[in-house]
A and B are shown apart, each in its own frame.
Chain A
Amino acid sequence: KQEVTQIPAALSVPEGENLVLNCSFTDSAIYNLQWFRQDPGKGLTSLLLIQSSQREQTSGRLNASLDKSSGRSTLYIAASQPGDSATYLCAVRRNTDKLIFGTGTRLQVFP
């Protein structure tokens, strides 16, 4: 059974720091991996999707990497801002049309 773990569960950093969020999964036979952002009381917003054949994806200050063999993905946020404060979720997809989600990392960036 595929399990997805995110560490740390919570993170608090000062504005301007570069930070890394971690996601690990137990079964390397994945179709893709997706990073989402969730603001309090809101739904999920897709940030980056990495296909199984890719090693990384970038969007602005965000960079996500994927290492299937080790079952790990990282989300790198450069020059963090208070507006980045949210919960970040990763989810993996296998060969079915189902996403398996991690429990998320709650990020707070303070001025």
Chain B
Amino acid sequence: NAGVTQTPKFRVLKTGQSMTLLCAQDMNHEYMYWYRQDPGMGLRLIHYSVGEGTTAKGEVPDGYNVSRLKKQNFLLGLESAAPSQTSVYFCASRRQGNSNQPQHFGDGTRLSIL
């Protein structure tokens, strides 16, 4: 009964390094999302996907790329990390169909860029 699993849970990077955050869900959900949470700003949508092989930009997409090669996985990439990308990153998923389906969240990845 894992739900939405994010790896890693913590990471420290140096400016300019690259990395990929992995989100996996076992609920057969079609829709998946990446958010960032910063103090005093609430969660903001980075990118999202409405199905395997499709992605779309959210509110703050610059500096990030995503891929959805498999339905259960949604990857978030930072090509060249910057201190402004220090944040807590959350992945979420939801079932397709009725737009009132709630989103289910992972426990987050805490990322620090030095």
Give me the interface of A with B, judged by CB distance under 8 Å: 4, 31-32, 34, 36, 41-46, 49, 51, 89, 91, 93, 97-99, 101-104
Contact = CB atoms under 8 A, between A and B. Distances in A.
SS class, residues of chain A in contact with chain B: strand
A41 B107 contact: yes
Interface residues of B, number: 23
Interface of B: 4, 31, 40-45, 48, 50, 58-59, 90, 92, 99-100, 102-108
Contacts of B59: 98
Given A4-B42, A42-B108, A43-B90, A99 B4 contact: no
A43 B106 CA distance: 5
A43 B103 contact: no
A99 B45 contact: yes
A71 to B, nearest CB: 17
Contact of A46 (B41, B48, B103): B103
B90 A44 contact: yes
